[in-house]
Structure 1
Amino acid sequence: MDEHILSLKHKLNHDVASNSVNTNLSQTAVPNQANSVAEKDTVLRIGDELIPLEWRAILDGQMEVSVPKSFSLMPLEQAKFKYPSQHRPEVIYTSLDGTVNITFNRTETFLAVDELSEFVEQMADVLRSVQPIRNWMGTEMIVNRSGLPIGLIRFVAAGVDTNLYNEMLLFVYEGQVAMGTFNCMESDREEWLSVAENTVQSLHIVPFSSDSPFEKGVGSR
C-alpha cells in the first residue's frame, strides 16, 4: 500500500506543480478559533467509563489534537513491528493495550485546499485497489469546528487475526498534505467512535504565538 500511495503522491505532485498553492480557504481563521476549540470536550464517555482527554502538539508543534490522556507514544520497537514500512507515521499514539491507534504524518505532496476533495477520491481509489477491504464506508469532506477542511475515508480491512476499522484524515496545512489515521478492531468500533470523532473535530492549527511544547513520535523522520 505504501508504494501505491507514494506513486499517487508523485503523480499529484506532478499534476499540481504548475498550480499556485492557495491555502486561504477557512484556514486563515483557524488560529483565531484555537482557543475556543481548546475549551471543548475534556472527557468522553466510552461505555460506562469517562475517559479524560489531553491536548497534544503534533507536527513540530504546528497543530494540536485532543486524545485520551491514557494514550502514549508507541515505543520504537512496537512501532517497527506494527508499521514495518520505513514510511511509518511520524506520530503514533496508542492505547494501553495497543489495540487503538491515532497517527499523524506529513506527506511530500503540495496541494491547494480546493483540490483536496479530488485528492481524497484518488486516495480512496488506491486504497480500494490495494487493501483487503471487508466493508467500504465511503468518503466525506467536512469542515471541523476549528474551520479546518478535512477529507475522511472510512473502511474495514482484514488484519492478521481480526478485521480493523480505519478512518483516514487528509488535510492541508501551508500547502502541504498531512495525513491522520484512527484504527481499532472492528468489534470495538462502536465503543471507540466517539474518540475518532473527537480526533477529527479537535484537530486545529496552533497560533504562531503559541509556545506549546510538542512531541515527535517514534516513527518521525
Structure 2
Amino acid sequence: MKNVFFILLSFFLLNTAVGYAQSSSYGSKGKPTAPANRNYNYDAPINLKKVTIAKRVTVSLPEEFTVMPDEGIAVKYPAARKPLGVYSSKNGQIDFSVNEKPTTFIARDLPLVKDIYKASIMRTFSEVQFIREEIKEIDKKQMIVFEFVSTLKDENPNSNKAPVKKYTIMQYYLKGGKLMIFTFNAPTLLKDKWQATANKVMNSIKVSS
C-alpha cells in the first residue's frame, strides 16, 4: 500500500509542477492570471470613448481611463517638459500618454528618426523584443510605430527588485518643428488582454493641422 501511495503522490506532484510551468511561461497562449486581490475580470469587454487632448489630438480610449492628476504625472513621468496628457486605468497599471518636444527634423527625415528612436529604446531597457517597427499611415499622416515587450532590470548588484516588464506601443509624428510621441503601455502579464485594444487606440489617433 505504501508503494501505491508514493506512486500516486509522485504522479500528482509531477503534473502540478508541469501545469504551473506551462501557465507561467512567457508567451503562453493561455490567459494570464492577475493577483486575486485586484479582482481583475480578464474577459470583461473594453469599450472605447473619444477624448480630446490639448485641443489638437483626439483618440479613442477605454471608458475606464481617467486623467492622471499633476501629482501623479510628476511621480510617474518626471521630466522637465510635462506631457500634453496622461490617462490611466482604474488600477493605475495601464497608461496612455502624449508628449511633444521641439525638433529640427522634418517629415522626410522619418526613416532617420525611426533609427534614432529605435536605438534610444534599446538603450533605455535591459532587454527589448520588437513585435513590429514600421512607418505607417494613420489618419492620412505618416507615423513611426514601435510595438515591443521590454524588461528593465535594476543594475544595482545589491538590489532585490524584480525586473519591470512592459508591453508598449509608441508612435512618433513630425509636424512643423514639433515631434509628438504617443505611448500606450501595460504590464507584460496583461499583454494578451490589451494588445488588440492598444492597437485600436493607437490607430484612432487624429492630430489636427
TM-score (norm 1): 0.65
Deviation readout 1:157-209 (Å, 9 max, x if unpaired): 235643111211101233421101111000101111122111221111347xx
Show structure 2 runs of 5+ residues with no match. 1-40, 153-160
Decide whether the 8 Å contact of 2:122 with 2:128 is kept in 1.
Answer: no
- Residues 76-91 of structure 1 mapped to structure 2, 5 A cutoff: 76-91=70-85
Partner of 1:196: 198
Q: CA deviation at 1:134?
A: 4.3
Q: For residue 151 of structure 1, what is the aligned residue in structure 2?
A: 144
How many residues get paired? 160
Greater Rg by CA: 2
2:48 counterpart residue number: 53
SS at match of 1:122: helix
- Percent sequence identity is 21
Please report how far the alpha carbon of residue 68 of structure 1 lies from its aligned counterpart in structure 2 after TM superposition: 0.9
The structure 1 residue matched to 2:172, chosen from 163, 170, 173, is 170
Letter in 2 for 1:65: V
Superposition CA RMSD, Å = 2.2
Deviation digits for residues 142-171 of structure 1 (CA, Å, limit 9, x no counterpart) = 112x21211112222235643111211101
Taking CA–CA contacts closer than 8 Å with sequence separation of 6 or more, which of the two structures ends up with the larger relative contact order?
Answer: 1
What is the correspondence of 1:110-125 to structure 2 with a 5 Å cutoff? Answer: 110-125=104-119
1:11-33 CA distances to partner (integer Å, 9 max, x unpaired)? xxxxxxxxxxxxxxxxxxxxxxx
Shift of residue 128, structure 1, vs aligned partner: 1.0
TM-score under structure 2 normalisation?
0.68
Q: Which stretch shifts more, 60-69 or 48-57?
A: 48-57
Q: Among 58, 65, 69, which residue is 1:71 paired with?
A: 65
Amino acid at match of 1:196: A
Amino acid in the other structure paired with 2:190: D
Q: Which runs of 5+ in 1 are unaligned?
A: 1-45, 208-221
Cα distance in structure 2, aligned partners of 1:137 and 1:50: 24
